[in-house]
Amino acid sequence: MQASRSSRALIESLDDPSPEVARAAVRRIEEIDGPSAADALRARLLSADLSLVADIAKALRRIGDGRAVDLAIAGLTGEPYTRRLAAARALGALADARAAFMLRVALQDSVAGVRVAALEALAEIGRATGEEGACARLLSDANPQVRVAAVRAVARIAGQPGNLLSSLADDSDRAVRLEVAKHVATLSDPAAALLLNDRDLRVREAAARAGGMRQVGTLAVLLIDDPGVDVRRAAASALGGLGDTRIAEVLVPGIEDPDALVRAAVLRALVGLVMRGGAIRRLRHELGSSRPARRRASLYSLARLEALEAAADATRLVDDPDPDVRLALIHTAESLVPDPEALIRYLADDRDAAVRGSADVWLLRRSR
């Protein structure tokens, strides 16, 4: 296909049953013929395989064809419905504000797919359309795919989409709630709370990932209590992205998470908020926690930061009353103590058999 220089052969390839072949032909025709290819491409705009319509429309837009928009606008009232669907998809790719009025009319089409394509086209045109009200009316459409497209369009077009989207926080369709969850920071507090506590893990994850300052309290609860690993990780990332150093206190409990990926996300978020030095200072403070699990988790987090500046604080844990903390000290000693051998030899005489065994293994490995 790339080697072909025959315009006629390329035009015939626009009707190839393989979408990939036809798509390559569109690119090649545009490359070879430029503006002179407009007639051939335009002739296929509303009759080509629906998967190719956007490619043809974008090619026409790039070569500056002035008639494609008018053709597509006229196609919004055509038959069969696939012609209207192709017209709406083409207008989305052409993204010309002149089509806004007829696209608004197409929002009332009897075919759900056409309504979806018209919403997507208005979203591509953007705020210049001023059609957020017309799009918002489809938030209550009987078809869930239309409601999903309406959420996307309203989010793109409306200045304050949360006012319009909040009513869908308890939508019966998971896909709709998932789409609304991506805008949770703009929603009313009750709507945001519904999505952050949704019964579906993926909805909660999307809501957590999109959370803002008003959701800090709920994100903190999700970080600690949600049964979904992906939700806890999303909560950690969202908290870290808010840029308020006070949130570091909310993140610290997450270093105890049973999942390594969540712990890593918490540590990244902590470093992102207070920098490496601030994170190390905060974690060194936690080495004195009354909670053995927190002391243990702090050692591992400091080790991941290779915080040699925490050596003195870490070394004091050789006599920690909890054997799991002393075991953690052996596991992290090489990353926290410049010369850990003396510390490990001390622990080789520990009263706990597991600690002694771990120290012996460490020393044996070092001697090889």
Helix H segments across 76-159?
81-94, 100-106, 112-125, 132-137, 144-157
Task: Answer yes or no: is pLDDT of 5 > 60.
Answer: no
Using a 10 angstrom Cβ sphere, with 0-12 exposed, 13-18 middle and 19 or more buried, the burial of residue 3 is: exposed
Condensed to tens digits (0 to 9), the pLDDT of residues 82-115 reads 999 999 999 999 999 999 999 999 999 999 999 9
Please report the pLDDT score of residue 91 as a whole number: 97
Share of the chain above pLDDT 70, in %: 98
Task: Specify the pLDDT at position 131.
Answer: 86
The whole-angstrom separation of Cα 89 and Cα 83 is 10
- How far apart are alpha carbons 309 and 248 in whole angstroms? 20
What integer pLDDT is reported at residue 16 of this predicted model? Answer: 80
> Tens digit of pLDDT for each residue in 328-339?
999 999 999 999
Of 231, 297, 230, 309, nearest to 270 (Cα)?
297
The residue ranking higher by pLDDT, 130 or 351, is 351
How high does pLDDT run on average in the chain? 94
The domain segmentation of the chain, as residue ranges, is 287-368
pLDDT value of residue 7: 67
Cβ atoms of residues 187 and 166 within 8 Å: yes
CA distance linking residue 291 with residue 276, whole number of Å: 23
CA atoms in the 13 A half-sphere facing the CB of 69 = 18
Q: Quick one: DSSP state of residue 214?
A: G
Cα-based distances in Å from 81 to 4, 43, 110, 123: 35, 18, 9, 21
Percent share of the chain, pLDDT over 90: 85
User: How far apart, in whole angstroms, are the C-alpha atoms of residue 223 and residue 266?
Assistant: 9
Whether the link from the prior residue into 161 is cis, omega within 30° of 0, is no
Per residue in 308-320, pLDDT (tens digit) is 999 999 999 999 9
Position 235 scores a pLDDT of 98
Q: What is the value of pTM for the model shown? A: 0.87
Tokens, residue 147: 């409601």
H and E: helices and strands count for the chain: 23, 0
One of 3.30.1380, 1.25.10, 1.25.40, 3.40.1720 is the CATH number of 287-368, namely 1.25.10
CB 195 within 8 A of CB 203: yes
* CA–CA gap between residue 311 and residue 331 (Å, rounded): 14
Could you report the per-residue pLDDT of 238-249, keeping only the tens digit for each? Answer: 999 999 999 999
Give the whole-angstrom CA distance, residue 91 versus residue 100. 9
DSSP of 246-307: GGHHHHGGGGG-SSHHHHHHHHHHHHHHHHHHHHHHHHHHHTT-S-HHHHHHHHHHHHHTT-
Q: What is the pLDDT of residue 30?
A: 85
